[in-house]
Structure 1
Amino acid sequence: MKDRIVIKIGSQVLTRPDGSLDITQMSCIVDQVADLHKKNKEIILVSSGAVASGKSELETISKLDSVSSRQLYSAIGQVKLINRYYDLFRHHGIVCGQILATKEDFSTRRHYLNQRNCMSVMLENRVIPIVNENDAISVNELMFTDNDELSGLVAAMMHCDKLLILSNIDGIFTGDPSHPESRLIQEIDTLKDDMGAYIQPSRSKTGRGGMITKYNIARRVAEEGIEVIIANGKTKNIITDLIQGKKVTSTRFIPSKKETSSVKKWIAHSQGFAKGEVHINSGAKQALLSDKAVSILPVGVTQISGNFEADDIVLIIDDHGKQIGLGRSSYDNVKATELIGLANKKPIVHYDYLYIENNL
């Protein structure tokens, strides 16, 4: 199988301080991606920059609220962004295609598989998918945290080997990157290392996410067996050097060797779609955290909350109120509530549709 790589490009990488597109930087990125493409690598580009580039094109007639301005600027800027990518890739004899995604496109298994099929067909035909959130309609609860989250979903969905998250920072530091005493963490093993004390909540001016988002996405994707690297997208030849395995200033997340099914990968990234909660007792938790393949049986459930239907995503909550996983419910909330504490009943969440966090 060919190497399949998702490269996420942050808006701060693609834009100048005034918000306009940095064409020179875009050209450098495309040159590197084109070179990998010609070497038979399958590349999926998750690119921000639509809202930022749209702002430089228009002065509004009146002051807009945050939602309206985001819709307007993204609608204008996405045309500009994809046209520029199209022209730059065409110089290399490469065809690219646009995919605009919303959170809803990942909320059901059917939508998820439809999207995966679309990208698969593009890759089979040597087309580079360029993915971005559809900001014109993704507002409020329909929004991804940012394109870091979207890139993680795409990497898991497409069974990728690597995810490169490129922004304006060199990686994850032991403190504020601007402080001289802070040091770069070059490698993270999500099964051993607890980075909670180090992660900074700061975020860029043009992006919505921050280092907490990057860390959480990278950790989850690495737990699914995908190598994740966070690096500075403005570093010269950063993509080429990372793929060639050169020593580059960055943070690498060691991929887990544990096999994760396609369905479990979908569920692992479905927290934003959860409709309810299944609370379990300590005995059920202990069983779930063991090496055995176990389901969540009614006898180990203590509480059901929320309004959900059968096949909806639910959060799994332990006896201390902490979320320990996600799953697809076999019942609606009414039936699940009726079954609480009963023995010899079918699982409320079957093992095949259950994802338990590895860092507990």
Structure 2
Amino acid sequence: MTSAHREAVRTARSIVVKVGTTALTTPSGEFDAGRLDTLAEAIEARMTAGSDVVIVSSGAIAAGMEPLRLTKRPTDLATKQAAASVGQVALVNAWSAAFARYRRTVGQVLLTAHDISMRVQHNNAQRTLDRLRALHAVAIVNENDTVATNEIRFGDNDRLSALVAHLVGADALILLSDIDGLYDSDPRKSDARFISEVAAPDDLDGVVAGGGSRLGTGGMASKLSSALLAADAGVPVLLAAAADAATALAGASVGTVFAPRPERMSARRFWVRYAAESTGVLTLDDGAVRAVLEKRKSLLSAGITAVSGRFHGGDVVELRGSDEVTVARGVVAYEASELTTMIGRSTSDLPADMRRPAVHADDLVAV
């Protein structure tokens, strides 16, 4: 019997499909345009059935290795960026050629973590993707490896796909790679148990997730984290093998499905919790932690015990308890220098223009 969550993926009118590096390469690591053609055929069938599809495609560095005569995936940043520079051209050309068979136009969207973390760039990316879909073009999204550094990377395209799914208001996210679903341990072991559905955190008890392959940066740990991120935002997720792409896209009857939270998180709250870059830290006393977490109250200056970082009003900061554990994130109302003078002071003791909450309840998201 098909679960309601698989049915939600099957009937989704707007979906994001993430294609991993291993889905586009041979076992020896060579970029394989034939595999991409097969995936495009499955995606085209879904679009013909009436769904809008945004593709988050890995594979740029792998696609750039052969033209640059690299025998193994580079490890230094400069060579990675050079390979990505060459590979991005080959990758988008391959997608363009694949969809040209169906008379579809492809548009490339390259993003860095900074683009998503900054509200203006975040909104610009959203408008671009929305407009591409409105014009019936197929958006191919990838991390901009040619300029991304270790400090501003998403880390892998799994997380990027989860952020894009919320960015475009997708009804479902499908993660395709060489893994056919979630197991409680390494699936190469005979005693590994397949998990068909993750409906609640208890379903993950005892699950051990591993790292990535030599060609990709993801892995089960990355896919699990990204699936949970998207599900927490209200987007159902299907994790399946690229070899089963046609079945996954047509009927969602394979792989592992992740149930979404009942109510979709607002775009602003999602941005604060997952996408925005934190520029500072506010340390709270125990009473303020309880007020923020249990009573959903605004954070007042009286409950702040320390301020660190350089930030301005409107920036996102982390809220931590006395044990230095982050309990929430929020949009701060004052710059750091102002807030430092307000530490521990009650609202009535402050000048009239400084009596607003340090972080309003509407701009607070527990983590």
TM-score, length basis structure 2: 0.88
CA distance in 1, matches of 2:143, 2:131: 20
CA distance in 1, matches of 2:225, 2:183: 15
- For residue 287 of structure 2, the aligned residue among 283, 289, 295 is 283
Unpaired runs of at least 5, structure 1: none
Q: What do residues 91-137 of structure 1 show as CA deviations (whole Å, max 9, x unaligned)?
A: 01211111111112112111111110001111111111000111111
> What does residue 206 of structure 1 align with?
215
CA distance in 1, matches of 2:202, 2:292: 21
CA distance in 1, matches of 2:221, 2:336: 32
CA shift for structure 1 position 64:
7.7
CA distance in 1, matches of 2:339, 2:169: 33
The question of whether the paired residues in 2 share the 8 Å contact of 1:156 and 1:266 is answered with no
3-state secondary structure, aligned to 1:142: coil
3-state secondary structure, aligned to 1:275: strand
3-state secondary structure, aligned to 2:214: coil
> What does residue 142 of structure 1 align with?
152
CA distance in 2, matches of 1:210, 1:300: 41
1:239 aligned onto 2:245: no
The question of whether the paired residues in 2 share the 8 Å contact of 1:19 and 1:53 is answered with no
Q: 1:14 to 1:286 in 2, by over 3 A?
A: same
Amino acid at match of 2:49: K
CA distance in 2, matches of 1:76, 1:314: 37
CA distance in 2, matches of 1:65, 1:257: 41
More displaced, 140-149 or 174-183? 174-183
CA distance in 2, matches of 1:334, 1:310: 11
More displaced, 109-118 or 345-354? 345-354
The question of whether the paired residues in 2 share the 8 Å contact of 1:280 and 1:303 is answered with yes
Q: Percent identity?
A: 30
1:14 aligned onto 2:31: no
> What does residue 267 of structure 1 align with?
272
> What does residue 326 of structure 2 align with?
323
TM-score, length basis structure 1: 0.90
Q: 1:64 to 1:213 in 2, by over 3 A?
A: closer
CA shift for structure 1 position 238:
3.9
> What does residue 308 of structure 2 align with?
305
3-state secondary structure, aligned to 2:154: coil
Q: What do residues 305-359 of structure 1 show as CA deviations (whole Å, max 9, x unaligned)?
A: 22222222212223332222322221222222222222233222222322213xx
- For residue 228 of structure 2, the aligned residue among 219, 242, 255 is 219
Q: What do residues 156-210 of structure 1 show as CA deviations (whole Å, max 9, x unaligned)?
A: 11111111111221222212222222212222235x4273752324211111233
Q: 1:55 to 1:230 in 2, by over 3 A?
A: same
CA distance in 1, matches of 2:360, 2:220: 34
CA shift for structure 1 position 77:
0.9
Where do 1:93-112 residues align within 5 Å? 93-112=103-122
Q: 1:347 to 1:215 in 2, by over 3 A?
A: farther
- For residue 342 of structure 1, the aligned residue among 341, 345, 349 is 345
CA distance in 2, matches of 1:197, 1:302: 38
CA shift for structure 1 position 213:
2.4
3-state secondary structure, aligned to 1:235: helix
Unpaired runs of at least 5, structure 2: 1-10, 348-354
Amino acid at match of 1:232: A
Q: 1:316 to 1:238 in 2, by over 3 A?
A: farther
CA shift for structure 1 position 31:
0.6
CA shift for structure 1 position 2:
7.4
CA distance in 2, matches of 1:113, 1:2: 23
CA shift for structure 1 position 214:
2.0
More displaced, 313-322 or 256-265? 313-322
CA distance in 2, matches of 1:327, 1:197: 32
Q: What do residues 46-105 of structure 1 show as CA deviations (whole Å, max 9, x unaligned)?
A: 000010011011237xx9861111111111111111111111101012111111111121
> What does residue 363 of structure 2 align with?
353
Amino acid at match of 2:244: T
The question of whether the paired residues in 1 share the 8 Å contact of 2:163 and 2:275 is answered with no
- For residue 63 of structure 2, the aligned residue among 38, 46, 53 is 53
What value does the CA root-mean-square deviation take over the aligned residues?
Answer: 2.2
Q: 1:142 to 1:110 in 2, by over 3 A?
A: same
